[in-house]
Amino acid sequence: MDADISAIAALIGDSTRARMLWALMGGLARPAGELAISANVAPQTASAHLSKLVNGKLIEAEVQGRHRYYRLASPEVGAVIEALATLAPRTKQPVPQKKSDSHPLAFARTCYSHLAGTLAVQINDALQQRGILIPTRDKLYRVTKEGRLWFSALGIPIAEIESNRSNLARQCLDWTERRHHLAGALGTELSQRFFEMKWVARLDRTRAVRVTTKGQEQLRKLLGIEFRH
């Protein structure tokens, strides 16, 4: 075996470190104290686990004053964590899969740097129905000519993204919906653009995302997505 996946698997496989990694899936940098609370361990214990994750290049630390803030090291790490979540057994109190905004995390959330949940799956379906994205092999999407125009009109320069990054548009299996949403560089850009235009907003400091009134109007107009009131 050329790649030693056992070392990475051992890092992720520890329940305390797994909870910390899961807490960082929202894409925000978090201090050690918050991660200790998320993992339900003492600060000293959290520090030891965080050091292992940094050394394993699964997370990175940023020093701000007297505090250290941690985030996932790359989109690839987020993709691995999300993929594992689709295989993991349900807990005693699973996140409901009912398509309802009464369950914010299941309805819309961030999956590291892109959107996930019911909303993201609906957006992905609509993009394919309108011929903007076409599924290809290797769990990727091809952006059509019409799609390039659509994304450009939204303020997302496809050509620039393609020249600077690989993995333009990738299928990511949603762990609550068990269907694909859009990931890759294009998924990241689309998510960031929605936040910039205030179509979506974070719920406090969680992974959950809400769709604003403006966002509901625009997503209904552009993609035909309906929202309950």
Q: List alpha helices for 66-212, DSSP H.
A: 75-87, 104-107, 118-129, 145-153, 158-164, 184-196
One domain, residues 68 and 154:
no
Q: Which of 73, 92, 112 is the last residue of a domain?
A: 73
Tens digits of per-residue pLDDT, 23-53? 888 777 888 998 999 899 999 999 999 999 9
100 and 170 fall within a common domain: yes
Q: Does 68 share its domain with 93?
A: no
Residue 208 forms part of a structural domain: yes
Instruction: Please name the residues in contact with 180: beta carbons below 8 A apart, sequence gap of 6 or more.
Output: 121, 124, 171, 172, 173, 174
Which of 29, 58, 73 is the C-terminal boundary of a domain?
73
Domain's final residue, options 16, 50, 73: 73
| pLDDT at residue number 74 | 86
User: Is there a domain that residue 229 lies in?
Assistant: no
pLDDT under 70: residue ranges of the chain: 1-3, 89-104, 164-166, 205, 229
Judge contact between 77 and 22, C-beta under 8 A: no
Residues 60 and 162 in one domain: no
Kindly state whether residue 155 falls inside one of the protein's structural domains.
yes
Answer for the pair 182, 124: CB distance below 8 angstroms, yes or no.
Answer: yes
Q: Which helix (H) or strand (E) holds 4?
A: none
**Based on the domain organization, do 13 and 56 belong to the same domain?**
yes
Residues 129 and 28 in one domain: no
Domain containing 178 equals 78-223
Q: What is the pLDDT of residue 93?
A: 45
Instruction: Name the domain count of the chain.
Output: 2
Residue 19: helix, strand or coil by DSSP? helix
- Statement to judge: residues 63 and 83 lie in one domain: no
Q: CA of 8: how far to CAs of 53, 58, 81, in Å?
A: 9, 8, 12
Tell whether 128 and 196 lie within a shared domain. yes
pTM exceeds 0.85: no
Place of tokens 């993709």: 79
- Shortest CA distance to 160 belongs to which of 185, 136, 182? 185
